[in-house]
Amino acid sequence: MEEASLSISRGAEDDNSRQNSDYSDLELNLLADRSFLDIHGCPSRLAHYHGIDCKLSGSVYVVSEIERAIPLIHGVRGCAFHQRLSPRKLYSPVYDMACTNLMEEDVIYGGEEKLRRGIYDTYKRYNPDLIVVLPTCISGLMGEDVHSVVEDIKDEVPCELVIVTSEGFAHRDHDSIDSIMQYVATSWKNTSQQFDFRGCGQVDMLAALAEQLMEEQDVIENSVNLESNGRNTFGFNLELQEVGSILGKMGITLNTVFPTTTVKRIKQAPAARLNIARSRTDKWAAYMKDEFGTDHIKSWPHNSGIEGMARFLMDIGTRMGLDGEAEAVIDEEKKRAEKELVKIRHALMGYSFAIVSQSLIFNPHRARVYIDDLMIPIKCICIDSLVLNRLKVSQETRDMMIKNMYSIFDEMNLDFQITTDPSAQETYKISKEVDHVLGEFITSHVYERNAEIPVLDITMFSNMLYRTSFNVIIELGRYLTRRINRPQIRDRHLIVSRLKYNSPYYPLLDDPRISSSVSMWQEIWRANSRGGC
Amino acid sequence: MDGGRFLGAFRACSGITDAVVLNHVPVGCNWGAGMFNSISQQADIRHACTVVHEREIVFGGEEALKRALELADKTCSTPLLVVISGDVPSIIGDDVQSVIDSLSLRKDVLWLEAAGYKGSMRDGYEDALVKLESLMKECEIKRRSVNLIGLCPDDFKVHADLNEIRRNIEALDISVNSTISMCSLEEFCTAPAAELNLVMGQGVDLAKKMKDDFGTPYIELDYPYGLEGSSKFLEALSGRLGVEYCEEKFIDLEPFKRTYLHQHEIYGTGVSVTGDFRCHSMSDFLERELGFEIEVKCSYDQCSSFEDDVRRSNTMMLFGSSFERGLARELAIPLMRFVYPVFDQVCMYDYAPYAGLRGTVFLTESIINTLMGFDKRPRYSA
């Protein structure tokens, strides 16, 4: 059987070379992603404090993942101009994009003829396998009958045509972050429920591909589809390599890496027995279940750690009728991991650690990696929950998330101190009582007082702990054993530590221009966004 | 490739450094405008939007605008609020002026319509400056002073370029009064104090309006790239203000001697240039002063076949924006970013310009280094 290859569209050749090169070293792979991809993404993280991106950008992003697919924006040129720079892939703008360039006369007389011409021209210019027609605010307001235009000409255009409702004014509302967090908090042990992420262009685009492009197929036994996080996102290649490898050992093949593949592969997605979907974007998988009977499973935080990963793989094996094969592979992987972990634990046991973390609130299961798998001698866990304020998460949801976290710690029944939102002085004091502080780059105190609180940054690994395989846990352990043996630099004077930050909006700077802009946005966003009419 | 009228208006208005821009648009338009602006301006965020949503499509956006104005007035300490009304309010017919008139706000509020379907980015920039001109006031004329018009705060290298252009002008004993639009509200309002408006590429409608309203004369000059371009710029300025300009005193060839062999080597190399109005003066410099062959030159408002033309040419180096990176990669040639939008490089140092006399040195150095640092690989695989 032909296996899914990761297909690279125009504008992403760098990833092609990265995918094909020999990145056997897991840490190097992650370092490369952080160094060369994430450096582009930081303005987008900042911008989320004072705005949200367009629904259209999510749709464009998904189209850009598909080889030989072109987004055709039915709107004004300004939309096409700035949508080239999708917040999900600032590293790699969408170079190939078409636009109907609606002008004032089109607003008066209608733009359907321009759309018709635009589809022909796009085909002529790019010779694509798929054109995705994306209506915008303007064409939506004009009441353009996009479906009729596409229906009329689809037989004359020798490529696939898909339409996705992507009018910018139908964006998500201000409660959406809280809804996501609530969903995360309520389903932290069980992912059976579905989340309706209304107004997300990415969700609607993936669903449209399932609805309009996929075709009934003969099911290929022992094959799965894997929902991709995006070729220009941190850890994507590694995840694909690791998941593909371990499933391969279980006798399972990857049918479609959705949507990071070819149009042909997307059409053939229903041939898979199972979909491995992501948490909040799984509307496509629900559709496939209804239409094609394809079962699905979600990749989720409780898959963290050796046992979590084993349960996840076992679940996949059971659903595929491969219990025996899965069990054998898991046993083998666990034994291999255990052998490595024994050495790592031995190296770490002579030291004491504090962990400063935000991510344990979102995924308390990560604590199992530190405590159950690596058996790091932790004296204190400092939780930075201010991020929940920044995200405007409701008190009810916050309470739920904090309760989940404490519940995990209680189950572990270990003797470590837990401090929530310690001051810089308290964190400094804690750092003096341990040999090493493990932290994440987004956590404020450790960076504001870096000279006094030397931190060993584990962000790179902590973000991968539930996404891949046993190898990431081992690699995190190896990384720690190497780093603790290096002399600690206690006289750093980071330039970023000289800057004053805005609490509670860290890492925004304490600058009146930023503070008032953020306040203004937050107030207006809360007042004017109420989930549509 | 053009960002449209809304983006042009946003770029003009956000250049008033103590004004807040309230975009009366859906969230996406606000995001897009801000994203290009924030790459090298991470500590200067002064915009928000009214969150035009489905509800506003049905019931109108005036209530949303009213709420947003009240909140912006309450939360921001800046003296001026500029409302830029985009596509959707234009179609649904929001009466922005009535909303503003119905409120008693602490700040001055100025609004402009900038529906994307009604024109280009240049149109948006020109109209916004003309609208802002209503804030200007009669001033006593400062002898031998000029306003620089045509800048945007998110132009690549703009702070460094401005420093160098200012240094060059001040060396003629001419002072720079206002830099539009990269100045405080007070500096903007007192622009009529200048003896002359100097328009670099765009903003000519403002200059005409200021001539009508305040009698300020203006001249249009190319953006000063290169020794020759800078000299022409300074000659024109000095001629107009009756100041002596002696090229020999200004030009220092010493840095160019250090790499003259490299400059010999690049002579005759084919390059292509695209961009806003700057592309003309950049290609003049490349062709006339460095000896490159210009294979394709195309300003954003001229043609849409730039990429295909370049593919058919012998271009060995591209000059443009970050959007040209894909083409450069496809053709396996280096890209020199010099023009908006640049989002994959940052500008921090205010004394490494591309424009003006010293800018010519740094630009030449950057070009040579870009060529030398490029790992050549076969352009066409078998």
Q: How far is A515 from chain B (nearest CA, A)?
A: 9
Per-residue pLDDT, averaged over B215-239, amounts to 97
Residue of B nearest to A97 (CA): B1
CA distance B194 to chain A (A): 29
A226 close to A243: Cβ distance less than 8 angstroms: yes
CB contacts of A525 in chain B (<8 Å) are 51
pLDDT at A513: 81
Q: Do B68 and A43 touch (CB under 8 A)?
A: no
Q: In degrees, to the nearest 5, what angle opens at C-alpha A63 toward C-alphas A59 and A68?
A: 165
Express each pLDDT in A178-213 by its tens digit.
888 888 888 777 765 666 777 889 999 999 999 999
The helix (H) or strand (E) run that includes residue A422 is none
- Smallest Cα distance from B333 to chain A, Å: 14
Which residue from A minimizes the CA distance to B68? A524
Rounded distance, CA A182 to CA A393, Å? 9
Nearest chain A residue to B36 by CA: give it.
A82
User: What is the average per-residue pLDDT within B227-253?
Assistant: 94
> Which tokens sit at A455?
């931190």
Query: Is 70 exceeded by the pLDDT of residue B71?
Result: yes
Structure ipTM: 0.86
B242 φ/ψ sector (left φ>0, alpha ψ -120 to 50, else beta): left
Range from A434-448, B156-170, B244-258 that averages highest in pLDDT: B156-170
Q: What is the pLDDT of residues A129-172, one digit of tens each?
A: 999 999 999 999 999 999 999 999 999 999 999 999 988 888 77
Phi/psi at A190 (5° precision) = -140, 125
Kindly determine whether residue A81 and residue B4, on different chains, have CB atoms separated by under 8 Å. yes
Is the minimum CB–CB distance between A521 and chain B shorter than 8 Å? yes
What residues contact A247, with CB distance under 8 A and at least 6 apart? A224, A253, A254, A316
Quick one: average pLDDT of A494-501? 81
**pLDDT band at residue B225, thresholds of 50, 70 and 90?**
very high
Q: Output the pLDDT for position A2.
A: 44
The residue among B46, B67, B75, B80 with the most chain A CBs within 10 A of its CB, best to mutate, is B75
Q: For residue range B315-330, list pLDDT tens digits in order.
A: 999 999 999 999 999 9
- Give the pLDDT confidence score for residue B23 in this predicted structure: 96
Cβ neighbours of B5 in A, within 8 Å: 78
Give A315 or A494, the one with higher predicted confidence: A315
Say yes or no for a CB contact (<8 Å) between A47 and B38. yes
Residue B135: what pLDDT?
Answer: 96
**Which H or E run contains B273?**
strand B270-275
For residue A52, the chain B residues in CB contact (below 8 A) are 27, 31
Whether B274 and chain A come into contact, CB under 8 Å, resolves to no
Interface of A with B in 103-132 (CB under 8 A): 103-104, 106-107
Interface contact A530, partner B, CB < 8 A: yes
Question: B148 CB contacts (<8 Å, ≥6 apart)?
Answer: B162, B165, B166, B176, B178, B179, B180, B198, B200
Write the DSSP string, B115-150.
Answer: -GGG--HHHHHHHHHHHHGGG----PPPTTEEEEES
Inter-chain CB proximity B55 and A533 less than 8 Å: yes
Task: Please state the rounded mean pLDDT for residues A448-475.
Answer: 80
pLDDT value for B76: 87
- In A177-216, the residues whose Cβ lies within 8 Å of chain B are none
The mean per-residue pLDDT over the stretch B218-228 comes to 97
User: Which residues in chain B have Cβ-Cβ distances shorter than 8 Å to A512?
Assistant: 77
Residue owning tokens 């800046």: B78
Residue with tokens 């400063």: A356
As a whole number of angstroms, the distance between CA A19 and CA A337 comes to 25
The closest CB to that of B51, out of A54, A141, A529, belongs to: A529
B287: which DSSP letter?
Answer: I
pLDDT over threshold 60, residue B226:
yes
Res B136 pLDDT > 70: yes
CB pairs under 8 A between A and B: 213
**pLDDT above 90: residue B354:** yes
Contact B35 A82 (CB under 8 A): yes
Residues from chain A that touch B93, judged by Cβ atoms under 8 A, are none
Chain B hits for A89, CB-CB cut-off 8 Å, are none
Confidence of residue B381 (pLDDT cuts 50, 70, 90): very low
What mean pLDDT do residues A22-41 have?
77
Distance CA B261, CA B374 (A): 18
State the pTM of this model.
0.89
In chain B, residues 74-103 whose CB comes closer than 8 Å to chain A: 74-78, 87-88, 91-92
Distances in whole angstroms, Cα of residue A418 to Cα of each of A348, A366, A442: 20, 15, 19
Q: Which residue of B has its CA nearest to A514?
A: B45
For the segment A281-308, the average pLDDT, to the nearest whole number, is: 90
Report the first-to-last Cα separation within chain B, whole angstroms: 32
pLDDT tens digits for range A373-395: 999 999 999 998 888 877 778 88
- Following DSSP, what letter does each residue of B181-194 receive, concatenated? TSB-HHHHHTGGGS
Please report the pLDDT score of residue A23 as a whole number: 37
Average pLDDT, chain A: 86
Q: What was the pLDDT predicted at A139?
A: 94
Q: How many CA atoms, within 13 angstroms, populate the side-chain half-sphere of residue A211?
A: 14
Q: Rounded to whole angstroms, how far apart are CA atoms B253 and A374? A: 63
| A141 → closest Cβ in B74, B77, B88 | B88
Among A55, A82, A122, most B C-beta atoms within 10 A, so best to mutate, is: A82
Predicted pLDDT of residue A512? 83
d(CA B307, CA B144): 44
**Average pLDDT of the residues in B259-283:** 94
Q: How confident is the model at residue A1 (pLDDT cuts 50, 70, 90)?
A: very low
Q: What is the pLDDT of residue A193?
A: 64
Cβ of B27 within 8 Å of Cβ of A51? The answer is: yes
Least confident window among A188-192, B125-129, B196-200, B276-280: A188-192
- Cβ distance A169 to B56 less than 8 Å, yes or no, reads yes
| Average pLDDT estimate for A255-261 | 96
User: Most A CBs within 10 Å: which of B20, B25, B71, B311, as the mutation test of the A interface?
Assistant: B71
Lowest mean pLDDT of A150-159, A253-262, A308-317, A363-372, name the range: A363-372
**A-chain residues near B71 (CB < 8 A):** 520, 523-524, 527
The whole-number pLDDT of residue A530 equals: 61
* For residue B299, pLDDT beyond 50: yes
Instruction: Write out chain A residues lying below 8 Å of B55, CB-based.
Output: 530, 532-533
Among B43, B343, B344, beta carbon nearest to A511: B43
**Tens digit of pLDDT for each residue in A348-360?**
999 999 999 888 8
Which chain A residues touch B64 with a CB distance below 8 Å?
528
> Which of B 43-62 lie inside 8 A of A, CB atoms?
43-59
Mean pLDDT of B67-94: 93
Residues 6+ apart with CB under 8 A from A121: A98
Q: Which residues contact A96 (CB under 8 A, 6 or more apart)?
A: A10, A11, A70, A126, B326
